[in-house]
């Protein structure tokens, strides 16, 4: 039934048909237009261009035999541009080896042999639309559920160790800027961002005096340094039991691994075999350490660039771009009553007797505002004004 493929808003599912024969595309559009919102592209190049439109397609249908690149190669490229879009292939070839390669390379959901009658085509497209919506719904549920859980966990961290929470927020913002400047589509970006956000969770295992020395950059004893070195593994043990966070835990495990394979853990993993999230944490942690010790953003980025073999070179380029963008930030003051969720603290928040309550770099949340208002109700109160980062 036509209604079965309608979205909640009543619009028809968007389908992209790609073939090198314009007449064939016109015929398919006429057959399918009552049930689907059909757009066509003559050739793979125009197909990839169409996928970059703001409004996504739910299904891509490609012919196999096309000049330049074939349908398998096109769908593999399309998967990088639009990973959530379901892919279907039309082919007149029945060679099993070619068919298996096509399905594996482009992760094709359906493959139909030509000629295809309209009923079979429509039924296959409906299955593809259903698959697309299932993937999108599952991803959105996963992202919202996990992000909500992580935010709650970080709120607890903010109460138990404000310095670690402030650092986690700084790292997360810098990571988001780097990912925005990254030249390619990052698969499972949410996992990389969660890995950065949770990378400091192991600090809850440290004795308070050691955690404070670590936050201040003070010299550690041999035993204390061993505790600090073990923080990634502690975080892995905390996160690993949570379903669907295996990639996040693995990224944190490799957060001190250099791109050339040196560093922890001691194994033969190097280069792009290191989890992307681990490479990302590595660069934002080291950048933050330099900034915390007084380096300017430009000097910090240049320092990392001079450490041959330490970092993913593509991430270094994205860091340079992100640093240039963030140079326009300024600092302004607000009162506690003017503080709003989403603001970023440019300096620490202290009591009137100069006891530090919240570290600089922390993103303001509802729970943080509540906490500061509770402090303000005490005799020592909260020193005002508060300093926040403001984009130029």
Predicted TM-score (pTM) above 0.75? no
Residues in the chain with pLDDT < 50? 1-4, 7-9, 392
- Domain match, 121 and 263 both: no
C-alpha span between 382 and 325 (Å, rounded): 33
- Domain final position from 79, 101, 135: 135
Same domain, 40 and 95: yes
Residues in the chain: 392
Q: Are residues 167 and 298 in the same domain?
A: yes
Same structural domain for residues 171 and 43? no
Q: What is the DSSP string of 142-191?
A: HHHHHHHHHHHHHHHHHHH-HHHHHHHHHHHHHHHHHHHH-SS--TTHHH
How high is the pLDDT of residue 93? 66
pLDDT for 2: 35
Task: Identify whether residues 60 and 28 lie together within a single domain.
Answer: yes
Domain count, the chain: 3
- Residues 280 and 311: beta-carbon distance below 8 Å: no
What integer pLDDT is reported at residue 155 of this predicted model? 73
Two structure tokens written together for 166: 């402030």
Are 191 and 300 in the same domain? yes
Give dist(CA 257, CA 228) in Å, integer: 15
Q: Are residues 249 and 321 in the same domain?
A: yes
Please report the pLDDT score of residue 1 as a whole number: 34
Among residues 299, 327, 355, which one ends one of the domains?
Answer: 327
pLDDT at 301: 87
Is residue 46 situated within a structural domain? yes
CATH code for the domain in which residue 390 is found: 3.90.105
User: What confidence score (pLDDT) does residue 224 get?
Assistant: 94
Claim to verify: residue 257 and residue 384 sit in the same structural domain: no
Mean of the per-residue pLDDT values for the chain?
85
Whether residues 300 and 372 fall in one domain: no
Boundaries of domain holding 49: 2-135
Return the CATH number at 56: 3.40.50.2300
Q: Do 263 and 191 reside in the same domain of the chain?
A: yes
Whole-number Å distance between alpha carbons of 388 and 331: 6
């Amino acid at each position: 039934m036509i209604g079965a493929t309608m979205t909640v808003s009543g619009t028809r599912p968007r389908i992209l048909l790609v073939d090198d024969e314009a007449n064939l595309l016109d015929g398919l559009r006429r057959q399918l237009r009552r049930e689907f919102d059909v757009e066509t592209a003559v050739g793979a190049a125009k197909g990839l261009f169409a996928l970059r439109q703001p409004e996504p397609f739910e299904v891509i249908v490609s012919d196999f035999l096309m000049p330049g690149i074939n349908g398998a190669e096109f769908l593999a490229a399309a998967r990088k541009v639009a990973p959530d879009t379901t892919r279907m292939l039309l082919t007149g070839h029945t060679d099993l080896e070619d068919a298996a390669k096509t399905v594996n390379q482009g992760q094709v959901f359906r493959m139909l042999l030509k000629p295809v009658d309209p009923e079979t085509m429509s039924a296959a497209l409906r299955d593809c639309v259903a698959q697309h919506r299932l993937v999108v719904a599952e991803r959105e549920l996963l992202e919202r559920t996990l992000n909500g859980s992580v935010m709650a966990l970080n709120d607890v961290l903010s109460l138990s160790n404000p310095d670690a929470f402030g650092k986690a927020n700084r790292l997360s913002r810098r990571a988001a800027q780097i990912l925005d400047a990254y030249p390619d589509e990052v698969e499972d970006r949410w996992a990389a961002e969660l890995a950065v956000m949770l990378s400091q969770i192991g600090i809850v295992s440290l004795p308070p005096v050691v955690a404070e020395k670590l936050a201040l950059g003070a010299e550690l004893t041999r035993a204390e340094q061993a505790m600090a070195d073990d923080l990634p593994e502690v975080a892995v043990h905390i996160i690993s039991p949570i379903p669907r966070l295996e990639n996040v835990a693995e990224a944190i495990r490799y957060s001190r691994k250099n791109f050339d394979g040196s560093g922890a853990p001691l194994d033969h993993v190097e280069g792009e075999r290191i989890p992307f999230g681990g490479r990302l944490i590595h660069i934002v942690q080291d950048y933050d350490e330099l900034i915390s010790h007084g380096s300017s953003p430009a000097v910090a980025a240049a320092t990392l660039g001079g450490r041959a073999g330490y970092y993913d070179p593509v991430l270094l380029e994205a860091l340079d771009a992100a640093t240039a963008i963030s140079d326009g930030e300024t600092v302004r003051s607000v009162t506690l009553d003017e503080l709003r969720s989403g603001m970023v603290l440019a300096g620490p928040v202290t009591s009137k007797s100069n006891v530090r309550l919240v570290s600089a770099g922390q993103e303001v949340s509802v729970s943080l505002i509540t906490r500061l208002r509770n402090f303000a109700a005490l005799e020592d109160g909260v020193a005002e004004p508060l300093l926040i980062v403001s984009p130029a």
